[in-house]
Amino acid sequence: MYGFHRVASAVNITTVANPTKNSDEIFKLLKESYLKDVSIIVFPELTLTGYTASDLFLNQLLLKSQNSTLEILLEKSKHISTVAIIGIVLLHQNRLYNCAVVFQSGVMLGIIPKIFLPNKKEFYEKRHFVSGKKIKEQSIIFLGQEVPFGIDLLFSNNSELTFGVEICEDLWAVTPPSNQMAINGANLLFNLSASNELIGKAEYREELVRTQSARCMGAYIYSSAGVGESTTDTLFGGHAIISEYGSTIAQNSRFSLKNSLVTADIDLERLNFLRLNESSFSDGEVSNFRAISIAPIPQIKELNRFIPSTPFVPSIYQEKNSRCEEIINIQAHGLIKRMSHAKIKKVIIGISGGLDSTLALLSTHKAFKIMNWNSTDIIAITMPGFGTTSRTKNNAVELCNSLEVTLRTIDIKKISLDEFEAIGHNPDNLSVTYENVQARARTSILMNTANQEGGLVIGTGDLSEIALGWSTYNGDHMSMYSLNSGIPKTLIKYVIEYYKRNEEIAHIIDDILDTPISPELLPHNDDEIVQETESIVGPYELHDFFLYHFIKYGATPQKILFLANHAFDNYDKETIKKWLKKFLWRFFTQQFKRSCMPDGPKIGTVSLSPRADWKMPSDANIDIWLEGLE
Backbone angles phi, psi at 496, to 5 degrees: -60, -35
Q: Please answer whether residues 98 and 54 qualify as being in contact, where contact means their C-beta atoms are separated by less than 8 angstroms.
A: no
At 85-129, the pLDDT tens digits run 999 999 999 999 999 999 999 999 999 999 999 999 899 999 999
Ranges under pLDDT 70 in the chain? 317-318
168 as an active site residue: the answer is yes
Distance CA 195, CA 483 (A): 48
* pTM summary value: 0.93
Residue 520: per-residue pLDDT: 87
413 as an active site residue: the answer is no
Residue 244: per-residue pLDDT: 97
Catalytic residue among 45, 166, 229, 465: 45
Q: Please answer whether residues 290 and 154 qualify as being in contact, where contact means their C-beta atoms are separated by less than 8 angstroms.
A: yes
Closest CA to 64 of 30, 88, 85: 88
Dihedral sign, CA of 255, 256, 261, 265?
A: negative
DSSP state string for 175-235: S-HHHHHHHTT--EEEEEE--B--TTHHHHHHHHHHHHHHHTTSEEEEEE--TTS--SS--
Residue 445: per-residue pLDDT: 98
45 as an active site residue: the answer is yes
Residue 580: per-residue pLDDT: 98
DSSP state string for 424-487: T--TT--SHHHHHHHHHHHHHHHHHHHHHHTEEEEE---HHHHHHT-S-TTTTT--SEETTTT-
Residue 314: per-residue pLDDT: 87
For the beta sheet containing 219-224, the strands, ordered from the edge strand earlier in sequence to the opposite edge, are: 247-251, 240-244, 219-224, 188-193, 162-167, 153-156, 290-293
Residue 598: per-residue pLDDT: 97
DSSP state string for 543-584: HHHHHHHHHHH---HHHHHHHHHHH-SSS-HHHHHHHHHHHH
Closest CA to 606 of 505, 464, 498: 464
Report strand pairing: 346-350 vs 378-382.
parallel
For the beta sheet containing 378-382, the strands, ordered from the edge strand earlier in sequence to the opposite edge, are: 406-409, 378-382, 346-350, 455-459, 481-482
Catalytic residue among 99, 168, 216, 324: 168
Report strand pairing: 95-104 vs 40-42.
unpaired
Report strand pairing: 240-244 vs 247-251.
antiparallel
Residue 318: per-residue pLDDT: 66
The full set of domains in the chain, from first to last, is 4-293 (3.60.110.10), 317-627 (3.40.50.620)
Catalytic residue among 114, 393, 559, 593: 114
